[in-house]
Amino acid sequence: MRFVDIIEKKKTGHALSQSEIAYWIDGYVNGTIPDYQVSALCMAIYFQGMNDQEIAWLCEAMLYSGDVMDLSCIHGYKVDKHSTGGVGDKTSLALAPMVAACGGKVAKMSGRGLGHTGGTLDKIESITGFNVSQSEDNFVRQVNEIHLALIGQTQSLVPADKLLYALRDVTATVNSIPLIASSIMSKKLAAGSDTILLDVKFGEGAFMPTPQDAEHLARTMIAIGQHFGKDTRAMISDMNQPLGNAIGNALELKEAIETLQGKGPQDFTELCLEAGSIMLIQSKLADDIEQAKEMLLKSIDNGTALEKLKEMCRYQGGDVTQIEDVSRLPQAKEIIAMKAKSDGYVKELHALQLGNVAMRLGAGRQKKTDAIDHAVGLVLNKKAGDWVKQGDVLAYVHTNHGLDDALIRDFYGAYVFTEKKVTKKPLIEKIIE
C-alpha cells in the first residue's frame, strides 16, 4: 500500500477503506508516514469530506492508537459530557456536581485551554492544591465512592489525535467536520463512559458558525456514538455572546459555585439544568425531563450539589475553604468598571472579541507554553437585549496590569447598540436524541 495512492483516492472524491484508514493512522503514529503527506490527506478530506462509515473507521483507528480507559469497575451508568467550547463556558464545574448529587456517575476527563480562556482544568486549578493528575485506580475508586472525579487526559490516550490536531492547527484544516467529529469522539470513547452528551455550540465564539453547521457536526458525532453502541445525544446552543457573565478562570469557578448556591446567571443555570436532565435520563435515574429537572433543582436547594463539589475538592487535594469563601480564590489587583458611553439596547455582544480581551489580560494562552493568570478576566453586567443608560456599568475588568488603549478599544467594540428594543434569542436551539 502506498500512501500517495490514498491521497490521490481521497483527492478525487472516493471513499477510503478501513484498511487504508488504519494504515494512515498507524503509520503516522509510528513515524513511517511524514507530516507533509498527512497534511495533504487532511486537505483532501477538508474539500472532499468523508461518509459516515469512513468517519467511524477513522474514529476507531484513532481510539485504538493508544490506551482506552476501563471503567467497568465503576458500578452503574458512567455519564460524560463534552462541549465544543466557547467564551465563558464553565459548564462542567457546576453541571458535574449537580448530576453526581442526583446519583449519576460522572467520570470526567478534561483538557486545558488554548485561546480565549483556560480549559476546565485551568479553571478548577484556581483552587490551591487541586490535583488533576490521578492514577486510573484512584480515578475509578473516587467515582465509585463519591460519584465524581475531574482529571486531565493522560498522554497515552489517543496519541493519534494529539499529532493530527497539532498538524491541522498549522495547515488550516481544523474546521473540517469529519476531522473534528473523529477527534472529539475518539477522546470521549477512550475515556470509557457509557453515555455521552454533546453540547455543540454555534456562533461567533464557536467552531461552527451557524445552527445548521452545528447540527451537522452533532449528527455526525451521534452516528459515531451509535457505531460504538453508546447512548449519544446532543444539544445545539448559541455562542454568539458569552455564556453566563464571567470570563476568566477563578471568575468562572466563582460563578459556577454561585450557580450551585442557586444564585447563578439565568442562561448558565438554564444550560446546566437542560444538560443535567438529559444526563440523568441517560443514567436511567429519571424518566423524563420534568422529573430530572426537579431532582437537579432539589440538589441545589438542599445544598447537596455544592457539597459534592467540595467533596471532589477534598479527594483531589484542593483547599475547600476557597469554595466556602470565594473571596479566598485568586483576586486581581485592580477591578475597573467599564461604563456605557450612550443610551441604547445591546443589540450584539461579540463573544470572540471579549474572549480575546480576556486572553490578552492573561486568562488564556496564545501558545501552549504560556502561563495562565487565574485571577484576571471580565464579569459582564449587561448582555444582548438589555437596556443601557449612559454611565451604566457594562462590565468589570479584573486586571493585574492595568488596561491599555487597545484593550479598552476592543472591549467597547464588542458591544453593538441600537435604539430599537431587542428580542432575546433562545440559548438552546435544539436537542437531538
In a 10 Å sphere around its CB, with 0-12 CB exposed, 13-18 middle and 19+ buried, how is residue 304 labelled? Answer: middle
CA distance 140 to 151: 11
Residue 95: closest CA among 228, 232, 190, 235 = 235
What angle, 0 to 180 degrees and rounded to 10, lies between the N-to-C axes of helices 211-227 and 52-63? Answer: 60
Q: Measured in Å, how far apart are the chain's first and last C-alpha atoms?
A: 40
For cell 467529529, name the residue: 181
- The amino acid sitting at 161 is D
Instruction: Determine the longest span between alpha carbons in the chain, in angstroms.
Output: 69
Task: Answer whether 264's CB lies under 8 Å from 94's CB.
Answer: yes
* CB neighbours of residue 375 within 10 Å: 21
- The amino acid sitting at 352 is L
Label residue 268 left, alpha or beta by phi (over 0 means left) and psi (-120 to 50 means alpha): alpha
Residues that are catalytic: 82, 161, 168, 183, 187
433 to each of 45, 48, 157, 196, 293, how far by Cα in Å? 28, 28, 28, 11, 17
33 to each of 3, 40, 171, 284, how far by Cα in Å? 8, 12, 17, 45
CA distance 299 to 347: 35
Gyration radius (Cα) of the chain, Å? 22
Dihedral pair phi/psi, residue 157, rounded to 5°: -90, 120
Grid coordinates representing 254 are 466563582
Task: Answer whether 279's CB lies under 8 Å from 98's CB.
Answer: no
Label residue 5 left, alpha or beta by phi (over 0 means left) and psi (-120 to 50 means alpha): alpha
Beta bridge partners of 236: 200, 430
Which SS3 state, helix, strand or coil, does residue 285 take?
A: coil
Half-sphere exposure of 168 (CA within 13 A, CB side): 21
